[in-house]
Structure 1
Amino acid sequence: MDEVIQVDPLTALGEHIAGALGGVILANEISYGELTLTIERDAIVAVATFLRDDAKCRFISFTDVTAVDYPERDERFDVVYHFMSPQLNQRIRIKLTTDDTMPVPSITGVFRGADWFERETYDLYGVLFSGHNDLRRILTDYGFDGHPLRKDFPVTGFVQVKYDEERKRVVYEPVKLMQEFRTFDYLSPWEGTDYVLPGDEKAKQ
């Protein structure tokens, strides 16, 4: 009697998508119980359309797009999409890479709900989306300087906002750091810091 080999559904799904889309799929892996496909940047619209319409996929629910910043890389951003298929009861993650000048095609023509998610990714990371009809900031103010979720963005920001009683309006001012110690070395007292903590004076003698 021949042994029946059970194929993992996610493995089979990944092979089906890779076989149908060919060379635009750069990597196919299963991690933490979820299928992740890395694709060519310019193929995102075709991939999203296939995932939505293919009878074996039916990823009809778009749930998120965001980014991850790796400033040491030439293409510093991973742009990450998440889709869900109620038919399969599965989720899928799609990744592609880009930099801060090369736009990613918008998928708003495939999933209208991607509109605000792409705006958020632009606002917080500076990822550009070509074909988006209203790509402007959505969480920060229109005059905001920089993109606050980039790894090289200062934690304190560049400006502070306050209401000025004399001018009767909101004003922007450079950040003023009043605390004496703002350059933290993140070392514990046991890792060779130069300062003496209160109570440790006798131990240093």
Structure 2
Amino acid sequence: MTKKNSMEEKLQDDIGADAPYDPAPEVAGLRKRFGAQVLSVEAGIDCQSVTLARECIVEACHYLKSEHGFEQLMDLCGVDRSTYPGWPAGAPRFQVVYHLLSLSRNHRIRLKVGLNERELVDSVTEVWPTANWFEREAFDLFGIIFNHHPDLRRLLTDYGFEGHPLRKDFPVTGRVEMFFDESQWRCVYRPNEVKLRQLIQKSWPGVDRG
């Protein structure tokens, strides 16, 4: 019996004979520890993607860091799937995607959790402090609220900004514009008025413009 086969058999014993075998030990460990809270596993081009129930995300991150050496959170981002082709109508609108890296093993894994508007997902800043600004960015641009975040403020948009720019229902031109009011001697907002302007005469490619 080869070493590889013995390892595969051990993993199969750990996760149960009837469970689908996955060669990544961290995925097998997640299946064993969190059971039905592991919603799906996909083999990506760069690494495996595991979709989890959002209620277990902090515990799952602690587990992957302590037991499988994923010491770095490389990135955390929000995704609006509302108009994604083929996205099921009843599926959560948003996803929070976590990209983890194990330096000791030179190995990566991607975690995903789904949630709808006004639903909360727990912050993972207690696992990786670097999640602080990542989560603030996702809150600012998508409106995703991270429960227990130490300082959940906007990061990229202006003070007093209303709305979340990367939601697919947010107008490209925005809803308000800022200007300096001489009479009040301060910056104020007013409803955005978009006027289509033609600055140069339109011409087809190849037309002599000389």
Q: Under TM normalisation by the shorter chain, which class is it?
A: 0.7 to 0.9
Matched, 1:60 2:71: yes
Which segments of 5 or more consecutive residues in structure 2 lack a partner in the other structure?
Answer: 9-21, 84-88, 205-210
Higher alpha-carbon deviation: 111-120 or 14-23: 14-23
Show structure 1 runs of 5+ residues with no match.
182-196, 200-205
- Give the whole-Å Cα distance in 2 for the aligned partners of 1:113 and 1:175: 36
- Deviations 1:94-124 (CA, angstroms, capped at 9, x unpaired): 0010011110011111111111111111110
* 1:122/1:137 contact within 8 Å kept: yes
- Give 1:162's match in structure 2, choosing from 154, 163, 179: 179
The partner residue of 2:134 within 106, 111, 117 is: 117
Match of 1:47 among 55, 60, 71: 60
Q: Percent identity?
A: 39
Alignment-derived partner of residue 71 in structure 1: 82
CA drift of 1:198 comes to 7.4
Question: Counterpart in 2 of 1:36?
Answer: 49
- SS of 1:146's equivalent in the other structure is coil
Report the CA distance shift for 1:86/1:176 in structure 2 as closer, same or farther (over 3 A).
same
Contact 1:71 1:152 in 2 (8 A): no
Give the deviation of 1:40 after TM superposition.
0.7
Structure 2 counterpart of 1:178, one-letter code: K
Q: What's the CA shift string for 1:73-103, capped at 9, x where partnerless? A: 4521011111100011111110010011110
Q: Give the conservation status (yes or no) of the 8 Å contact 1:11–1:30.
A: no
The amino acid of 2:54's aligned partner reads: R
Letter in 2 for 1:175: N
Query: Do residues 27 (structure 1) and 30 (structure 2) align?
Result: no
Structural mapping, 1:1-205, within 5 Å: 11-13=23-25, 14-54=27-67, 57-71=68-82, 73-74=89-90, 75-179=92-196
2:157 and 2:78 mapped to 1: Cα distance?
17
Instruction: Kindly report the root-mean-square deviation, in angstroms, between the aligned alpha carbons of the 2 structures.
Output: 2.5
What is the aligned length?
A: 180
Cα separation, 2, equivalents of 1:32 and 1:172: 45
Moved more, 32-41 or 136-145: 136-145
Distance in 1 separating the partners of 2:185 and 2:33: 61
Structure 1 ranges of 4+ moved more than 4 A:
4-7
What amino acid sits opposite 2:60 in the alignment? V
